Structure 1
Amino acid sequence: MVFDRNPSTHSNEEGPQFNRDGKIELRSPSAMPALPGFCPNLPHPPSAKSQSLSFVNGYMMVQSPLLERQLHSGSNHTSPEGRPMTSPNGMKDVLDPTDCSGRYSFFRKKVDRENHNIALPFCPESKLPSFLEHDRRVLLFNAYYEEDVHESAIEEKRIHTCDVYFYVEDGTMEIIECKQENSGIVQGRFLRRSRVSKPGRSCYYEIDDLKIGSQVLIYSRTFHIASCNESTREFVMKYHGWNEEDVATLPLPRDRFAESKDAKMRQESGAPGSDRKRKMNDLKQVMESMLGKETSMTDRGMFLENGTDALCFHVLWDDRERLYGDIQYFRLFYYLADDTVEIMRVDAKNDRQGTFLKLLKRSKLPKNGRVADSVCYTWKDLAIGQTVNVFGRSMLLARCDEFTRQYYLSNGITLEEDMTLKMPEKKFEVKRDIPPYNGFGTEEDSLRSCTGSLNPPPPKKDLQKMRDKSGVILQFNAQLVSDKTDDVTRRFVLSFFMEDDTMAIREPPVKNSGVMGGSFLRRQAMKQENGTYFTAKDMYVGNILNIVGHQFLLLNADEYSYRLMECDDQTFPFSDFARLHKTLSSKQNEIKEHFVKDHECTGALDQDELAKCCKSLGLELNTQELITIWRKLDKKGKGKVAFTKLLKLASEDQWGGEDSTRFEY
């Protein structure tokens, strides 16, 4: 397609315009052909909306317009101080660190100053968040509410004083009722920290709702704001515009019942709230004295001198003048460390006075019934034959122990002889008959069911023994002691578990024997004929065990069991070679004569000949003791040893050396 480049031929027709170079000039975007990759410059520059909201150092901030446009567009934006943003004075740092309207992060400020030579502040709309501006700021208001008392002849209304805490950072409130001594009502926190909505409205209580003299309805309780502290008064007057009338302190209403109660306490026991001679914690007293508080005189010197020494007197109280009264016996302990007295009761047979043990807890004993240090009993006032007034009870001091008598004698006072008293008999102890075993569980379980509890506790176990001897098992080869020929040839493996003294018996299967092997006795604790349980001391070679009507003869044991028994001579006395060595040492000459007569030629002996030798010498040794001696002679297991080795073993002065190793469980 060819275009005519003569403009005169197309002067009255619409179409493309040509410039001087003969190129097509597009005057509007609609005249641009829609060809891929053909994007000429548009007549208007892009005008995307700049972002003005962002997070700086974790805070939500309102940013100024784009930096380039603000610096080069010539706009008349002003800083918070009223200076133009493009002026050098408007780019200065703000000196107040809490003012976020003209300050941003130090890192970004450093980058902008070094790389771009600018320091643009934030817009005036930005400010410090409330939770940072009012961090840990709490306002305290004193308030009260009235409670109607029904069906009472002594009071009509009860006044409850409270402390209202208002947390400015999030607008939450907390109400704590002030505690009163001996009030008899539940006190403490009335409202946990939370936002409280106004009744019937969707808004919350704010600071302006807590003016002095205002009433606040919170959970059907009308709180009357009476006063506030000094810091709260300064804050609301400075930042919320309160005047003097809004913060004027109002008096609390009179509580006539509390006034009458305080007056009664003054008449009976002194001013209310006074120190009742309560003993302060020693550590607290030391810490307060280090901070400058004066300390009163203490009895620390008496404690260091006397320690826990106490004088003991036997006293009696004759109360037969009263209806159903009787003579009662007590022990009076006088503690020399702090001059306190404690009176304990002596139990009597068939006592009708109850089961109490203390008549008087450890405290100072006043002479006239009132607590005062100047009129309390001391050790000088106590003597045999004297009476002591114990809060209206006349008690006679009749006897004392030897320490008390020696203490008075060391201080130059001789006490009189003890008075003869008929001490009460001991209580008769009723022995409870244990019912027989019912067959359910173990005997310990059945015995626990006789305690009278609906939920009896399980029987106690020796946890220390179970922990120390866990996995320690003694294994023996056993044979049935019976008149039947078939039973004599049967062999069993008896396993004894030392952690809980239980045993299990298993019969190895033998082909073509006619007896099915397997488990003969499951693991359990077995009793002897005398009613006691089998223990580890009953496990030794040669012993006959009567188990479930069968008698088992222990023939031998494995190497592990032998070593364990030889290293624990307290539990296994028949494996104590030190004791057997002393026995052999006393028979050295007899052993030499015996082998000279019987073994002149061979000069060797086996285990059976060793047993005959010991029997001929008059040594009553069982099979386990013979095995213990033979294991020391035949260490290599050859079956025979020279008789000179036995003489050498018996002639040694002291046993020890390489074989005296300790076996570990």
Structure 2
Amino acid sequence: MAGLPRLPGFNFQDPTLCKFHLSQTFAIRNGYKQPKCQYKGIGGRELDCDSVKHIEKDDPIRYDPSLTYGRCKIKPLPPFIPHFALYDQKCLTFKAFFKQSVTESPLEFYRVRPVNIIYFLEDDTISVMEPRVENSGLLQGKLVRRGKIPKYDNTESFWHWKDLQVGKDLAFYGIVYHTVDCDVFTREYMASQGLDMADPEEMPIDQHTLNRKLQVTPKITKTPSSDDKLRRFLEYDGKVLKFKAVWDDRENEYGDLMRFEILYFLSDDTVVVKNVQEENSGRDPYPVLLRKTKLPKRYTDIPTTYPSIYLEKSDNEVTEYYQPKDFLVGNTIFVLGRDMFLYDCDKFTRDYFKNALCIEQKPALPIKEAKTPPPRPQVPPHDGLGSLEDSLQNTLTFLPKPPRKDVVKQIVNANKYLRYEMKMDAVHPEDTIRKFILQYSLGDGTCKIMEPPIKNSGIIGGKYLRSTLLNKPDSDLLNPELYTPADFYIGATITVFGQRFIITGADLYVYRYMQENDSKFPCDVIENMRNWMFNQGYLKDDLNDLVKENLQATKRFDETIADTNKSDFDKCLKDLNVGSSSSDSEIDKAKKAKLLQDYEDSIKHIYQVPPHGILPVQKECAYPVHIGKEKDLSCSEDIEAKYTSYTPKHIDTPEEVISKYYAGVLKNQQEICDGRYPVECTDPPKVDSNSCNKEEESGPIMISPPEIPPGACQGKKKTVTFKEDERCTIEKDDLCQLKREKIHCDCTDYMTDCI
């Protein structure tokens, strides 16, 4: 603007202004300085801030809402309601009483008559009303008409609501009324006017009216039950809740723990208590303790005036009966003075409580007490008369009974006996020739001893001991230990009433019985009896059957291997029955016969006779073989294809020769170990001086090499070595119970060279 020319229209100042003085801040009035409320600009001009154009839109001080929203509506004044319309049907009610004197009655002097004082607010009038009572004989109802009642004989002043109060005496026409209470509206209205009502008082009792009420018997009516008895009978007939209970009467003299069964009939809510009779209880077997009836909870809760001497109680006298919900396992119920503890219930009862009443019954509770076992009575010693079992029966009961027998054992083992041959452990020389037969009965466990007669011996044979139970020596007299078949074996010594016997033989049935009942006998006894039976030659059939079983098992094993080596094509041809024996050529038949004969010859000596009748025991191989280096030999392929397998011949080893020798001695001399005849012990024959002489050079083991055609090997050399420790020193028992050391030749390598 400074660069504008000073021409009319290019400046912003008013050229008409000629006053430039400033207005004063204070104004002097009555000699005092007072600040001015309105200011003016230079020269008395109006300021921009005082103009309407310069007022901001959001100025809260100068903003007038009426310019935007218009003037607000003024609330109209409430309409005028006259006094009679405002308090129409509004009353103040006070409860009061007055006493009326009675002059001509010896029983009473006054009566208390309750009244209601009603004050009408619309016109300030008062009325007194007395409630009507039946058969009172008094004129009741409105005692004072509605109107204004003067105060104290002053006709100018009347009773006003401001004069009313609870607990105050009011005199209306010569009768004094005493107020005792007021209603809720009266209290609220008085409180709104600034008057607080006093606490209510009790209304006095009219003695004459009370005596009349006591003399009048009230009429009692009983509402019939809504339960339909016919419907309950049709629905619950035959459905009974069964509980097990116990009555503990041990606190009284001769009391005991008695058991009962409580039956609850759902059809009519009756209860039956049955007695559970126990054996040897000493009580009369009465079946029912309580007949079918409703069971009250408190049977003593009856009126004092009820003539219970000659009248029975009915439903009117009983307050409450037992219901199904009261019968819970673990609770105690009272059956006419007896407290019975419920400890169990049946399955139907548990299901009924669970499904119908949603109550889970507790499991059965134990009620038995752990009784200490009585001390065992002392058994007197046996006097020697009769058997021990028969004598013990005299100590058990007053009237002795015969001892019980195992009838099942006697029936199963009827006529079954084990026979043994015995000799006497002789002290005198003449008793050495005596023989005895022990017969053990499997039915009753008794033993019987017979002596065969010997001609020209001077000894009378026959029955030596009748059938009786044999006690072992040094056993308890009251609980003796008896002899059993497990104690009888070859060489065993038994004592029969002080006499010693040695068992020397047995029947073959004894060994068969041991095989069938091997759990009743020790292994040593069974092995002892088997060895003796083998020495006597009684087990030849068993050996033959065992050899046949081994041959058949080996043959089946070889056939199985032969079938597995066949190709699938051969198996298919065999299933289709193609290439049968009828179509084979004669050459194939001869070849098959030769191979079969070679196989039969190779298995002849597989089973070895055990020395002294002892069966072989499965052990590791006593002669482990160690294969050494092989030789290189040249063989043609045509010979190798022709001779793919061969059958070696078997030659007896020195051990087999010795075992066969002892087997022959045992077979020829059956009584060699009896001790009856002396036996001279001889050394076994020597096998070969070249093979068992230590001083000579070591030679090969006597095993014949197989017949191998020329060039059958594959150009290899094999070396076979045997272990020295286990083979070169072997101990065996001979017949005379002597141990001899058998020393064989030195072990050498067996060299096989191909031709």
TM range (shorter): 0.3 to 0.5
* Bigger Cα Rg: 2
TM-score by length of 2: 0.31
